[in-house]
């Protein structure tokens, strides 16, 4: 059974390169790859009732728009994918490394992967591909640094949130943390939900919080 991928980028040579790299995946998958070069073509493929459902969609953020349908970029296509193909995984590739842009992409789209074009090579693209197929979320190092910067500068994680993260890293559980901070168990749980949201942990436990916080340098 083949694994169906839609790749959307207005640079045809890039698409050919991505496809060649992914064929070296360590899962021995038979890849059925479809190319698209602009928002209109991709829109028609994603929404067509005759179109084959895709398992994974690679999207360039900057694409020729489809103004008739108010699809102006890969971000708009990603939102369309979330609506039309909710089971499909989405990896966004972008030339933009600005922290606020990357943070907005993550918060708005919740991509399964996000990489800076100038920041990755073939090996990392394969790592990202394999990680996403294994149910993980993959962000390149530049993306992680940008998310950390935005979380700190926008004040999304306050002093209590950071204390909770520290206590979790010490192996403490909700009840003990609640006693330590003078809060209720439910208050701790609500804050953990918020922490996971800002760290883009869609499903996970305390260990996932600790792992992600270590990656981003919070602990």
Structural domain spans, the chain? 3-149, 155-215
Pairwise CA distance, residues 22 & 173, whole Å: 41
Q: What are the φ/ψ torsions at residue 58 (nearest 5 degrees)? A: -95, 130
Reply yes or no on domain 3-149 having CATH 3.40.50.2300: yes
Q: Stretch 32-61: mean pLDDT, rounded?
A: 90
Pairwise CA distance, residues 157 & 118, whole Å: 30
Structure tokens at 123: 């090996």
pLDDT at 1 over 80: no
The pLDDT confidence band at residue 27, using thresholds 50, 70 and 90, is confident
Q: Render 88-127 in DSSP notation, one character per residue.
A: SEEEEEES---HHHHHHHHHHH--SEEEEGGG--HHHHHH
Q: Stretch 123-138: mean pLDDT, rounded?
A: 92
Structure tokens at 186: 């439910």
Structure tokens at 209: 């919080």
Q: What architecture is the 155-215 domain classified under in CATH?
A: Orthogonal Bundle (1.10)
Pairwise CA distance, residues 61 & 39, whole Å: 10
- What local confidence, expressed as pLDDT, does residue 7 receive? 97
Q: Stretch 25-43: mean pLDDT, rounded?
A: 91
Whether the predicted model's global pTM rises above the 0.85 cut = no
- Cβ atoms of 119 and 95 closer than 8 Å: no
Question: Tokens 């006693």 map to which residue?
Answer: 179
């Amino acid at each position: 059974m083949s694994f169906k991928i839609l790749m959307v980028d207005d640079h045809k040579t890039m698409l050919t390169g991505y496809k060649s790299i992914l064929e070296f995946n360590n899962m021995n998958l038979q890849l059925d790859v479809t190319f698209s070069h602009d928002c209109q073509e991709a829109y028609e493929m994603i929404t067509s009732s005759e179109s084959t459902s895709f398992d994974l969609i690679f999207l360039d953020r900057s694409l020729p728009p489809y103004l008739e349908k108010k699809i102006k970029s890969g971000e708009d296509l990603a939102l369309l994918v979330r609506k039309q193909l909710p089971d499909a995984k989405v990896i966004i590739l972008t030339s933009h490394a600005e922290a606020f842009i990357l943070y907005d992409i993550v918060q708005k789209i919740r991509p399964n992967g996000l990489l800076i074009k100038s920041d990755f090579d073939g090996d990392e693209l394969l790592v990202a591909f394999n990680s996403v197929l294994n149910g993980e979320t993959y962000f390149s190092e530049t993306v992680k640094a940008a998310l950390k910067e935005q979380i700190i500068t926008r004040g999304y994680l306050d002093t209590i949130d950071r204390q909770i993260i520290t206590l979790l890293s010490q192996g403490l559980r909700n009840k003990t943390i609640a006693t330590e901070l003078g809060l209720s168990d439910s208050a701790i749980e609500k804050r953990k939900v918020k922490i996971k949201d800002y760290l883009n942990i869609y499903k996970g436990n305390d260990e996932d919080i600790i792992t992600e916080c270590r990656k981003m340098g919070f602990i």
